[in-house]
Amino acid sequence: MSKIRGILLFWVALFGCGTFLFAENNKTEDVKQKKDTVKALVVDNCNSIFDDFTNYTGENIINVIDSLLNCKAISKEWMQKLNLYIENYFNEPENAISLSGFYDDSNYPSGAFYKEWNTSHVHPEFNENDLEDSVTLVLTDVSNFCHFVMPVKGEITSHFGWRSGRQHAGIDIDLNVWDPVVASFDGMVRFAQNYKGYGRVVVIRHYNGMETLYAHLHRIKVKPGDVVESGQMIGLGGSSGNSTGSHLHFELRYKSIALNPRYIINLKEEKLYSDTLLLYKNKWSYSAIPKGTKHHTIQKGDNLYEIAQRYGTTIKRLCELNGISRNSRLVVGKKILIGS
């Protein structure tokens, strides 16, 4: 979003300095207008396609400005329309879509990352060829009011990983029935209904390509297509689906690949480790590494005591950060979080 703002500011600066020559409508007939080289759109006072800028994407606006810069003269009517657009633009808060890049013209968040907008399946389908070797995801952008909020405040009762012989793809957070559950990031609701073991579940797609899932709800308060902000209520806590007690099952996914929340969120302090997340493809999924944090790759012969000594920390701290116990088996090649 900063790119479009910069271009608009540049336009305002040129306009303010009187760089352009303005022609009255009756004088523009003899002026030959040039075509935009990207979109081949002709800037013409009589062209109705430019009567309204409000539905234009950022790329459209940039192309229009580019065309205008090549014109020998611009009518006052055109200047009034464009400057009205710019005035309205700067009077509104910036949209969180800046997290996905301004040139994603899809009607849905992260359309460039996903082949479809599916409201009937919890997890979109992907094959291995659809997964990048490495990905950088911007999680929050304070300057654009894009924040993170824990979906509910409560004790973590179950962590990510293998549980009872099955993969537990998220974390469980204790709550009471009817407790409000909120969106963790800005985004758009993609799925909101009862679904198998998840019970009543909401899936939100975010502007960086990530999706969050909120399961076992008692009530759903949103529907597919709803745009939500971080901290906005999306449902009420419960125990629907395969659940033995009231809690929230919370997942973080990128292209349907489950990410370990513990490597992304400091669950003790209920905040992100970093505003940027680095994903590296491994044999089965993605390794999630918050930018600016320290990690150690397990090597043959490593143990928690030696790792703690090497990095000036404690075994207790390593266990807290990685959701393991002192007796957990360390797998060669896997990364463990050391700290900031």
Report the candidate in 203, 205, 139, 216 with the shortest Cα–Cα distance to residue 173: 216
Kindly state the tokens that stand for 45.
Answer: 């006072």
* Average pLDDT for 253-273: 91
Alpha-carbon distance of 248 to 235, in angstroms, equals 11
CATH architecture of structural domain 293-340 = Roll (3.10)
φ, ψ at 147 (rounded to 5°): -115, 175
Residue 173 or residue 39, greater confidence: 173
Where in the chain are the domains?
A: 2-91, 106-291, 293-340
The superfamily (CATH) of domain 106-291 is Glucose Permease (Domain IIA) (2.70.70.10)
SS3 305: helix
pLDDT band at 37 (very low <50, low <70, confident <90, very high): very low
Q: How far apart are CA 67 and CA 83, in angstroms?
A: 15
2 CB-near residues (< 8 Å, 6+ apart) = 98
* 6: confidence class by pLDDT, cuts 50, 70, 90: low
Residue 225 to residue 230: CA distance in whole angstroms: 16
What average pLDDT does this structure show over 85-103?
48
Residue 14 to residue 19: CA distance in whole angstroms: 5
131 to each of 9, 166, 170, 280, 282, how far by Cα in Å?
A: 37, 24, 20, 10, 10
For range 313-336, the mean pLDDT: 82
pLDDT in the model for residue 87: 60
- Top pLDDT among 230 and 49 is at 230
Instruction: Let me know if 111 is exposed, middle or buried by CB neighbors in 10 A (0-12, 13-18, 19+).
Output: middle
Enumerate the β-bridge partners of residue 189: 204
| Residue type present at position 301 | G
Tell me which of 121-130, 131-140, 218-227 is least confident.
121-130
Cα 268–chain centre separation: 23
What pLDDT sits at residue 88?
61
Residue pLDDT, tens place only, 13-33: 555 555 444 444 444 444 444
pTM of the model: 0.65
Q: How confident is the model at residue 163 (pLDDT cuts 50, 70, 90)?
A: confident
User: How many angstroms separate the Cα of 112 from the Cα of each of 55, 100, 138, 204, 281?
Assistant: 20, 9, 16, 16, 19
> What pLDDT does residue 132 have?
84
